[in-house]
Amino acid sequence: MNIAPRYLGRGSWLARRDPRLLVLVVVLFVATVSQVWDGRAVVGLVIIAFGYYALAGIPFREVRRNWIAALTLITIIVLVNTVLTGSRFEGIVQHSFFALPLIGTPVSAESLSYAVTQWLRYAAMLAVGFPVAFCVSPSDFGVTFARLGIPYKLAFAVDLTFRFLPSLAGEYQQTIDAQRVRGYEPGSGGNPVARLRRSVPILVPFAVNAIVGAEDTIDAMDLRGFGTGQRTWLRHLAFDRTDRIVLLAFVALLVGATIAGFTTTTSHPWTPQFLIRLAGG
């Protein structure tokens, strides 16, 4: 069974970069986006993020479900935090369209604009973050984080996590297939308690296999003396000229966003005038 994460960006421009660059770009870009609330500036960051994502060469059909799940999650977060609660807009003059039934929270031009801006910010972060999962060789995760100054035990834990999660997914599917051969059909009807009880024939062997696999990994690491001394890494990482240029570009983007936050209105939410007019403002 293949226990490594899918290396979908193999051979792409980003996959040829030093893997540390991909991690640092995420950190720098998140720090940049977190300072920008003006929707017009956020659109520019979204263009940069998806331009960067295009360099990863990740086939969309292979990550369609990942994108759907991630975008669904951020949509729920945005709806709950901005549209439904409305707490961020207390004390601010709002140009309201209507109030939500039962809870009475006003849906205004300001809240809608803020929600769209927040959604775009999350989407941009996702676009920059996906290449880390799909454009870094599975064997490079440990050395990447170790070379970034993270303690080698923690770096190795990250490496194992990226390897172990796909392994768990494969084990889960194998367990379902094995139980189906024995005449078991999971089904999805009934109340949550009934569904949980029907899933016992899957969850029990799945949990046992996961524990056994983890113990095998621990034994293998102990036999190789893991933790008895400083670990060395066979893989050598080095930034080339292109890596440095990309890194400096994202550093400049962060510095520019920081300066703009103090000297302009990019750090404040922006509401389009057409929304205000639609609300009767």
The whole-model pTM stands at 0.78
pLDDT of residue 189: 57
Measured in whole angstroms, the distance separating CA 105 from the mean position of its chain's CA atoms is: 30
Rounded to 5 degrees, φ, ψ at 231 are -85, 145
Cα(80)–Cα(119) distance, rounded to whole angstroms?
Answer: 12
Cα separations in angstroms, 148 against 72, 143, 213, 249: 32, 8, 29, 19
Cα(138)–Cα(221) distance, rounded to whole angstroms?
Answer: 18
Measured in whole angstroms, the distance separating CA 98 from the mean position of its chain's CA atoms is: 34
pLDDT of residue 46: 96
Cα(165)–Cα(90) distance, rounded to whole angstroms?
Answer: 42
pLDDT of residue 249: 96
pLDDT of residue 142: 80
pLDDT of residue 90: 55
Rg (CA), the chain: 24
Q: What is the DSSP letter of 81?
A: I
pLDDT (tens place) for every residue of the chain, 281 residues total? 344 457 788 889 999 999 999 999 999 999 999 999 999 999 999 999 999 999 999 999 888 988 999 999 999 988 887 766 555 555 566 777 777 676 667 777 778 888 899 999 999 999 999 999 899 887 788 888 888 888 777 777 777 777 776 677 777 878 888 888 887 776 655 666 777 777 778 888 888 887 887 788 777 877 777 767 677 777 788 899 999 999 999 999 999 999 999 999 888 888 888 877 877 75
pLDDT of residue 97: 72
pLDDT of residue 88: 57
pLDDT of residue 3: 41
Nearest to 127 by CA among 58, 62, 38, 189: 58
Is residue 23 within 8 Å of 100, Cβ to Cβ?
no
CB atoms within 10 A of CB 67: 15
Cα(114)–Cα(225) distance, rounded to whole angstroms?
Answer: 53
Is residue 161 within 8 Å of 2, Cβ to Cβ?
no
Q: Looking at the DSSP assignment, which residues form a beta bridge with residue 192?
A: none
Q: Look at the block and give the residue holding tokens 């292109």.
A: 242
Is residue 41 within 8 Å of 117, Cβ to Cβ?
no
Going from N- to C-terminal start, the domains of the chain cover 19-278
